[in-house]
Structure 1
Amino acid sequence: MADLLGNGRTTRARLRELVEGPEPLLAPGAYDALSARLIEQAGFDAVYMTGFGTTASLIGRPDVGLLTGTEMVDNARRIVAAVDVPVIADADTGYGNAINVVRTVQLYEQAGVAGIQLEDQVMPKKCGHMSGKLLIGADEMVGKIRAAVEARRDPDLLIIARTDAVAVTGTDDAIARARAFADAGADVLFVEAPTSDADIERVAAELRDVAPLVFNWAEGGKTPPMPLERISELGFSLVIYPIGTLLAATAGIRTLLAALKRDGVPTAALDAVPTFEEFTDLIGLPEVQALEQRFSGA
């Protein structure tokens, strides 16, 4: 776990090793620093900062391009500071043109993320599993990817290029765009929201030898919930689970509030939640107490 004094260790080279490894890297979605800590404590090797979850948690609204790049970077910075595992951050469209992408990449890099995801939607964008998406031209997105590659100061910062073309112009165009993004220097390719096993298999067959691939196991989304064994067989390198933690937290909060509203006290729901002591332990109180002793001068 990340401690308050820090250890100065970079996670970018580690993320590249994991993505290039023999098994898919699993990265559950974190929407804040607490959910990121829980992911790390559960034993996962990477955290995915979800734009959907960040929007929902910060402003209680849907992922339709309402957050600014500054708000997203600030959340990424807090998440990175909370964990020692690599953090992959959603950077939406880069928040403008290729010049804006340059600054976006630099700000995320300064925040300490190990990888960023850029997509080819028109801004304001929408969640990849919503309808009504619009695309920028493939040439414009190629320019953004080239700008992102040149803007990074650390060559180990992973640039993930996402296309939302499947839902707009079809799978053929999505695959063609992904190839162009790889030619522009993208490290990892992300074809968003294929809607059938056949399309998933086609994406994998045509692109897995081009660059490492992302599979978005979007909980309740448009992509079929394929078993991990099959995802691995198809050659996907990174599997993200963007909103499961957010949905689980929502369910837990609803259950406690229902008990409180019904009974006037939350007692009936407390067996399903951590005790106060358990919770303060998992957020690092023992470390703080040790540091107090260490620096007390006693």
Structure 2
Amino acid sequence: MPYVIGSDLPTEPAGDRFRALLERPGILRLPGAYTGMSALLAREAGFEAVYMSGAAMTATMGLPDLGMITVDDVCWYIRQTVRAAGLPALVDGDTGYGEALNVMHMVRAFEDAGAGAVHLEDQLLPKKCGHLNDKKLADARDMAAKVAAARKARRHLYLIARTDAAASEGMDGAVARAKLYLEAGADAIFPEALNTAEMFREFARRMPGVKLLANMTEFGRTPFFTAQEFEAMGYAMVIWPVSAMRVANKAIEELYASIRENGGTHRMVERMQTRKELYATIRYDEYEALDATLVKTVVPEAMPQRD
């Protein structure tokens, strides 16, 4: 039954459910999901939580990831993703959309929208993707104040502090910042844009007992590592933030090119999700069954052949 109307709607706060997943053995795998459909597909694939990337949400709006998205924009994405799949979501909170009071507003808004966790980063606006050059860092004490504000505002939201300091302040700077953010109330730490296995291992060695998040984004500064490899390096969570969007966008590019070249979609049909598969994913029959006035839909099994 779909979570939006079903009797299996989660009753525990999403933050508590996210925290419980982290308490289990093994690394928590968080694929990027930025729409209700992608969250449903993640759940069907067996994932128990998802990650919502600010870069992915912004890109779907046709905008660059430069801190232009708003709290209300993100809440719209959270609501549809959580409503569709019922999975606890870790949400990219960027720099908190301002200072302490803005951070507190963000935390409450994300909680009300259904988020399970959020991460805050220590960049200054205009922020950049963590794997790009010349990022401007906030003063560590100012970031700690934001973390403390988030901790004060949250009711259940799991709070992760991200530091982008490794690139400009080295490992010592990143570790010092992480410790300060933990003292301010962070539940976990996200060291961004580490670029070797040794860097990942060293950061984990210097943060014993701390839950750590690894970012496995493509085309960035981090080489490819598997979830198992990150777990062996000491990490409790791993995200693939924009991977689903990259694959979807490439497929759409190829579809449009095929329509333009061939005059139709006929050469792409084999690569499409069928109507039957779509309806199964969104549980069309179960929705339809809730309204006795609707006649049960008969789904065509295949496309008709031309004369």
TM-score normalised per structure 2: 0.91
Structure 2: which 5+ runs fail to align? Answer: 296-307
Residue 22 in 1 paired to residue 21 in 2? Answer: no
Deviation at 1:9, TM superposition (A): 2.0
- Listed as ranges, the matches of 1:6-17 within 5 Å are 6=6, 7-10=9-12, 11-17=14-20
Q: Could you say which residue in structure 1 is the equivalent of 2:182?
A: 182
Tell me how far apart the structure 1 counterparts of residues 167 and 71 of structure 2 sit (CA, whole Å). Answer: 25
Match in the other structure for 1:104: 106
- After superposition, the C-alpha distances for 1:51-93 in whole angstroms (9 at most, x for unaligned) are 1100001x21221111112211221122111112211111111
- Distance of 1:45 and 1:146 partners within structure 2: 28
1:238-258 deviations in Å (ceiling 9; x for gaps): 110101100110121122112
- Runs of 4+ residues over 3 Å off in structure 1: none
CA deviation vs aligned residue, 1:7-33 (integer Å, no higher than 9, x gap): 242232221121122200000001222
Alignment of 1:1-298 (within 5 A): 2-6=2-6, 7-10=9-12, 11-57=14-60, 59-154=61-156, 157-209=157-209, 211-293=210-292
SS in 1 for 2:256: helix
Cα distance in 2 for partners of 1:198, 1:264 equals 52
Q: Distance in 2 between matches of 1:79 and 1:223?
A: 27
2:33 and 2:10 mapped to 1: Cα distance?
22
Distance 1:242 1:2 in 2: 25
What amino acid sits opposite 1:220 in the alignment?
A: F
Residues in 1 aligned to 2:59 and 2:237: alpha-carbon distance in whole angstroms: 24
Structure 1 window deviating more from structure 2 (181-190 vs 228-237): it is 228-237
Contact 1:30–1:47 (Cα < 8 Å) also in 2 = yes
> In the alignment, is the contact (CA less than 8 A) between 2:31 and 2:241 conserved in 1?
yes
Call closer, same or farther: CA 1:208–1:255 in 2, change over 3 Å: farther
Contact 1:212–1:237 (Cα < 8 Å) also in 2:
yes
Take 2:73 and 2:168, find their aligned partners in 1: how far apart are those partners?
28
CA, structure 1 residues 264+220, in 2 after alignment: closer, same or farther (shift >3 Å)?
same
Letter in structure 2 aligned against 1:5: I
Moved more, 259-268 or 227-236: 227-236
In structure 1, give the amino acid aligned to 2:67.
G
Distance of 1:122 and 1:63 partners within structure 2? 13
Which shifted more, 12-21 or 112-121?
12-21
Q: Give the alignment's TM-score, normalised by structure 1.
A: 0.93
Q: 2:64 corresponds to which letter in structure 1?
A: P
| Aligned residues of 2:10 and 2:86 also touching (Cα < 8 A) | no
Q: Is the 8 A contact 1:96 1:123 kept in 2?
A: no
Whole-Å Cα distance in 2 between the matches of residues 148 and 108 of structure 1? 11
- The Cα shift of 1:153 comes to 2.2
Determine what percentage of the aligned residue pairs are the same residue.
Answer: 38
Partners of 1:53 and 1:246 within 8 A in 2: yes
Q: Is the 8 A contact 2:118 2:160 kept in 1?
A: yes
